[in-house]
């Protein structure tokens, strides 16, 4: 028998994304929207939520198992799919978060997905395989197109506050398939991925198992970031990804 706990309804809710709406705005309105987001995030979420009503899409729930919980403290959900199969799984979406075309896919038990307050997720898949996996996005993080996959028991993806993801980005804790040496020993076990606060990930980047990226860093377009510790405030570029510059800072605005 299917059981599901839902704290707040989300069907019929408006959705918003700063980047989604910005494409239809002139430079002055984009600048005003950026200022409003920084100065008054609650008003920003409300304004874009109302503006986006005309793009409404239904949210879908396919939840099978016992003790699964979906808790949302926002109504700005548009085209969100919950595909959960297992027991004791939790999805939690924070206040003032804005989600558009987002899929939560969980197959296993006791998994957790937590979206922080004020996050803006667009075209995202949050994928957990097996049991005990966890995906966490810190407050104010934004995405334009990302696939986050925590595969194998107990693996985790932890993303800090105010991170910014472009599109066609892949973040994975494992390979979802086993690779073995001649003795039969597996050589590609899953490993956690961690991004500090205020990390910018460029288009078509891949962040793979065991990567730990320090706060304030930048992952360049097309970079493949493999296992290793990368310092704060650095630029990572290339395949395989290497630190090409240190001591940098970045902002969401051009100025």
Q: How do residues 63-85 score in pLDDT, each as one tens digit?
A: 999 999 999 998 789 999 999 99
| Residue ranges matching CATH 2.160.10.10 in the chain | 156-255
Apex 32 CA angle, 28 and 35, nearest 5: 140
Say if residues 37 and 55 touch (Cβ distance below 8 Å): no
Phi/psi for 165 (5° steps) reads -110, 130
Phi/psi for 183 (5° steps) reads -85, -5
Distant-in-sequence, close-in-space partners of 63: CB < 8 Å, separation ≥ 6: 2, 4, 70, 82, 84
Q: How do residues 25-68 score in pLDDT, each as one tens digit?
A: 567 777 777 777 777 777 767 666 655 554 556 788 999 999 99
Q: How do residues 156-214 score in pLDDT, each as one tens digit?
A: 999 999 999 999 999 999 988 888 989 989 888 889 999 999 999 999 999 999 999 99
Phi/psi for 53 (5° steps) reads -55, -35
CA nearest neighbour of 157 among 216, 97, 115, 110: 115
pLDDT score for 26: 64
Q: How large a percentage of the chain has pLDDT more than 70?
A: 84
Q: How do residues 151-162 score in pLDDT, each as one tens digit?
A: 999 999 999 999
Architecture of domain 156-255: 3 Solenoid (2.160)
């Amino acid at each position: 028998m299917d059981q599901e706990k839902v704290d707040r309804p989300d069907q019929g809710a408006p959705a918003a994304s700063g980047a989604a709406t910005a494409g239809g705005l002139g430079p002055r309105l984009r600048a005003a929207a950026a200022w409003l987001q920084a100065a008054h995030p609650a008003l920003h979420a409300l304004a874009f939520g109302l503006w986006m009503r005309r793009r409404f899409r239904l949210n879908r729930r396919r939840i099978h198992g016992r003790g699964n919980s979906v808790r949302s403290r926002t109504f700005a959900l548009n085209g969100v799919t919950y595909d959960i199969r297992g027991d004791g799984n939790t999805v939690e979406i924070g206040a003032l978060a804005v989600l558009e075309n987002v899929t939560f896919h969980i197959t296993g038990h006791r998994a957790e997905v937590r979206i922080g307050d004020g996050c803006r997720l667009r075209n995202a898949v949050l994928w957990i395989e097996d049991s005990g996996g966890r995906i966490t996005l810190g407050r104010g993080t934004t995405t334009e197109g990302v696939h986050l996959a925590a595969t194998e028991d107990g693996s985790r993806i932890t993303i800090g506050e105010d991170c910014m993801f472009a599109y066609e980005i892949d973040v994975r804790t494992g390979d979802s398939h086993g690779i073995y040496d001649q003795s039969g020993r597996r050589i590609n076990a899953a490993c956690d991925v961690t991004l500090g606060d205020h990390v910018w990930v460029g288009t078509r980047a891949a962040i793979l198992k065991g990567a730990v990226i320090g706060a304030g860093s930048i992952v360049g377009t097309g970079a493949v970031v493999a296992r290793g510790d990368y310092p704060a405030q650095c630029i990572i570029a290339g395949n395989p990804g290497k630190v090409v510059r240190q001591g940098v800072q970045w902002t969401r605005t051009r100025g």
